[in-house]
Structure 1
Amino acid sequence: MKTLMTALSLLLCTQTVLADTMPARTHNDILTGSNGMSLYTFDKDTAGSGKSVCNGPCAANWPPLMAAADAKTVADYTVITRDDGNKQWAYKGKPLYFWVKDSKPGDTSGDGFNNVWHLARP
């Protein structure tokens, strides 16, 4: 019994650490940033390419989910290098973005924008 309790305690601690280190969270079946804002993917990005094609004016409207310079892959989240050299999070190989017109957590106004932007889903 003591071994089982120790194993369960270790599992719970591991899950807590992973939840705290994940770059995004799941809320109502969509990915959100730590600020609670909805995250999106862009059809023109190629999954697994390690690149974002949303740069310059595009990134002003669709701010990337930035990663720290020393960020490392965790679970399905990888780090890509943007054209400007900054790091960005990707989920299952697709770069993640916010939408500048979402004003509060729970907003999803960018979903379907120009038929190429979609809510990021786990």
Structure 2
Amino acid sequence: MKRFAGVTGVVALGVAGLTACGGGSGYGSGSSSAPASAPASSAASSPAGGAAKLGTATVGSLGKIVVDGNGRTVYVFDKDSKGKSNCEGGCLALWPAVPSGSGAPQLTGIAASLVGTITRSDGSKQLAINGMPLYLYAQDAQAGQAKGQAFGGIWWVIGADGKKITAHSGGSGNGNGY
């Protein structure tokens, strides 16, 4: 009986260790661990030290919106102001900043005059449209999703013209926004 209990304990520890390393998708886990912020490192689909990429895609009833180089929807935050991000800490875990990369961003379907960068409080550079910082939503696990649209009534997708789209997509969106 003691041997069975010892083997069971070892198996349980092994499974717990594998589960901790495996982590599933990481999106929506509610933690601020690496998986939830992982999209930020590749958010703009730029090689290490490369330029960020932005383009457009038609997403559901929202029409043609701005996406990153991986086709993931980008958003603006109503609590930001032109040139300044107010999304920090836990907010960034759910809404990773779109990094600017190095050099001029590669743009497809977006006027270069609309796109710039801001400097975040930690000194990192973030892409912006019309001066408004850009973010991804961690729950948008793949291209073509816009689950963050109208989230908390303060997160919005951006049209190819650089203006936020405030139409509700019928999906997510209650709570305080982060």
TM-score normalised over the length of structure 1: 0.74
Larger Rg: 2
Tell me the residue number matched to 1:88. Answer: 126
Contact conserved, 2:52 with 2:100, CA < 8 A, in 1?
Answer: no
Partner of 1:52 in structure 2? 85
Name stretches of at least 5 consecutive residues in structure 1 with no aligned partner.
1-20
* 2:72 aligned partner: 37
Q: Which amino acid aligns with 2:155?
A: W
Q: What is the CA RMSD across the aligned residues, in angstroms?
A: 1.7
Secondary structure in 1 matching 2:66: strand
Residue correspondences, number: 99
Indicate the SS of the match to 1:67.
coil
Percent same amino acid at aligned positions? Answer: 35
Moved over 2 A (4+): 70-75
Provide the secondary structure at the position in 1 that maps to 2:81: coil
Kindly report which structure 2 residues correspond to 1:1-122, keeping only aligned pairs within 5 A, or say none.
23-28=53-58, 29-47=64-82, 50-68=83-101, 70-72=102-104, 74-122=112-160
Q: TM-score, normalised by structure 2?
A: 0.52
- Contact residue 72 and residue 79 of structure 1 kept, 8 A: no
More relative contact order in 1 or in 2 (CA 8 Å, sep 6+)?
1
Equivalent residue letter for 1:27: A
